[in-house]
């Protein structure tokens, strides 16, 4: 028996990059086409976000930037054996920064931490899925309940982070969150992708 489905858990935080203006046909013909940008970026400890990753146009006047990150969970059963793949994903085409030329390194650190918090909750979901015995005949309701609770916990922490740090403007609180998240990621290192 094979059944798989994906539950993308999406949360918009604060980040993004302005799209480039149109190019002229002559300029386009003179240069080879650039390599296609990835449609998503999977979280890795050795790969930090840059402003170049933020591809969408700003869609609000309130924020300096917006991060779109996702917990992508795919589960299935093969011969009644449960398996899951859970990944933290950054979505460049939904993420933006109002003015990348003047955006501060502190703002980028704030936005990176949104993605790090997504990874933390991805690891927590991997842990929960490893501890629970899911029945392949009744997989979807049980899995939906687990992911719904995981999503709510993640969403609350992301909102608390923005409020507590004033979207990264409160530097001491930002540093506190960075250190705390780093420690939590280490605590859940066993549930990091290898």
Q: Which residues contact 145 (CB under 8 A, 6 or more apart)?
A: none
Report the C-alpha gap between 176 and 148 in whole angstroms. Answer: 28
The string of pLDDT tens digits covering residues 126-182 is 999 988 887 787 778 888 889 999 999 999 999 999 999 999 999 999 999 999 999
Distance CA 118, CA 120 (A): 5
Q: The dihedral of CA 106, 41, 71, 185: what is its sign? A: negative
Report pLDDT digits (tens) over 65-98: 999 999 999 888 888 888 889 999 999 999 999 9
Do the Cβ atoms of 71 and 125 come closer than 8 Å?
yes
Is residue 8 very low, low, confident or very high in pLDDT (cuts 50, 70, 90)? Answer: very low
Q: Confirm if 87 and 119 have CB atoms less than 8 A apart.
A: no
What is the spatial distance between Cα 24 and Cα 86, in angstroms, rounded to a whole number?
42
Q: Highest-confidence range of 25-34, 53-62, 79-88, 158-167, by mean pLDDT?
A: 158-167
Query: Would you say 66 and 13 are in contact if contact means Cβ atoms under 8 Å apart?
Result: yes
Contact between 93 and 131 (Cβ < 8 Å): no
- Helix residue ranges per DSSP H, the chain: 25-30, 105-131, 139-165, 171-187
**CA 56: distance to chain centroid?**
15
CB 53 within 8 A of CB 17: yes
pTM above 0.85, yes or no: no
Phi, psi of 176 (to 5 degrees): -60, -50
Helix 171-187 crosses helix 105-131 at what angle (to 10 degrees)? Answer: 30
Q: What is the pLDDT of residue 25?
A: 33
Average pLDDT across the chain, whole number: 82
């Amino acid at each position: 028996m094979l059944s798989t489905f994906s539950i993308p858990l999406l949360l918009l935080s604060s980040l993004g990059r302005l799209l480039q203006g149109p190019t002229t046909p002559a300029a386009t013909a003179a240069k080879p086409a650039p390599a296609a940008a990835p449609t998503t970026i999977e979280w890795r400890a050795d790969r930090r976000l840059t402003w170049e990753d933020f591809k969408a146009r700003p869609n609000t006047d309130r924020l300096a930037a917006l991060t779109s990150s996702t917990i992508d969970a795919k589960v299935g059963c093969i011969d009644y054996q449960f398996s899951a793949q859970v990944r933290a994903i950054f979505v460049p085409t939904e993420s933006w920064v109002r003015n990348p030329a003047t955006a501060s390194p502190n703002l980028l650190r704030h936005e990176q931490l949104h993605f790090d918090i997504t990874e933390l909750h991805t690891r927590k979901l991997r842990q929960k899925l490893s501890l629970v015995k899911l029945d392949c005949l009744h997989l979807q309701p049980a899995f939906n309940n687990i992911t719904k609770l995981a999503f709510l916990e993640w969403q609350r922490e992301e909102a608390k982070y923005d409020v507590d740090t004033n979207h990264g403007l409160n530097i001491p609180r930002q540093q506190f969150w960075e250190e705390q998240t780093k420690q939590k990621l280490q605590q859940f290192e066993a549930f990091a992708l290898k």
